[in-house]
Amino acid sequence: MSNSSSPIRVLVWGENRHEKIEPHVAEIYPDGMHTTIAAGITENLGDRARVSTTTLDEPEHGLTDDVLADTDVLVWWGHAAHGEVADEVVDRVHQHVLSGMGLVVLHSAHWSKIFGKLMGTTCTLRWRSERDRELVWTVDATHPITEGVPNPIIIDQQEMYGETFDIPAPDELIFISSFTGGEVFRSGCTFRRGNGRIFFFSPGDQDYPVYHHKDVRRVIANGVAWATTDRPRRIPTLLRYDTDDFYNGHGYTGPIAD
């Protein structure tokens, strides 16, 4: 029964490239998208969270083992530079997620290396960026992630993401979006992998001010709270158990006995 009074340690990771290269994005997000996303989490969780940010261009992308060990939930936004994220860092994040770190995957991070590695599929979809209105409909009305948001959430302008979205069937389908053009998308999904909880939420293209949207911020904050676990961080490990000894596992010594 998680009653811990210590705040959730949240780290928002931003690719931070569009903001630097494209003036229209910089105008919407003058301090970077990650800063706006972080502000939205603080706006909703207040003292319940301690929110910081880091970006791709930091050494080791700002994701050293120490940093990850000090993070309860990692929020990931990436788009133009997925390929620049070092495989070694991806492996490190993967291990932390499987050990119990929460992960909130935003928008085009559906194609991030870390999400693909966790899902095992192409994570591809259909798309169009033509200022469609997105309506985000609640499918799971009592899920903690849907608390406090209207049904639907109305986003005036957004990139269209449409089905078929090549992901494993989610553990929980939370939101389905529609777009002006008539496409639909499973826009809010949860997945458990190892000891970690993952929430994918698709609204949030860099071309539109989606992370200034009150309801979108609330959903992300809800997702952060949901993805938090207070269990000790621990990677699942192969152990041998003697008959009638259920609690003392022994380390693995290889597939062929001496």
Residues 59-88 that bind a second copy (CB under 8 A): 79-80
Buried b (16+ CB within 10 A) or exposed e, 174-188: bbbbbbeeebbbbbb
Binding of residue 113 to a second copy (CB under 8 A) = no
Residue 184 Cβ, how far from a second copy at the closest point, in Å?
Answer: 5
The residues with which 120 forms a beta bridge, in sequence order, are: none
Could you tell me the smallest distance in angstroms from the CB atom of residue 127 to a second copy?
A: 6
Which ranges constitute the DSSP H helices of 29-175?
Answer: 33-45, 65-69, 87-99, 113-119
Q: What does DSSP assign to residue 60? A: G
Q: Which of 42, 50, 57, 147 binds a second copy (CB under 8 A)?
A: 147
Q: What are phi and psi of 130, to 5 degrees?
A: -140, 35
Q: Site residues for a second copy, window 185-244 (CB under 8 A)?
A: 186, 191-197, 221-222, 225, 229, 231, 235-244
- Closest distance of CB 56 from a second copy, Å: 13
Q: Do 139 and 149 contact (CB within 8 A), yes or no?
A: no
For residue 141, state whether it binds a second copy (rule: CB under 8 A). yes
| Nearest partner of 55 among 24, 7, 19, 100, judged by Cα | 19
Binders of a second copy in range 41-60 (CB under 8 A): 44-45, 48
Instruction: Determine the interface stretch with a second copy among 51-59, 63-71, 156-164, 208-216 (rule: CB under 8 A).
Output: 156-164
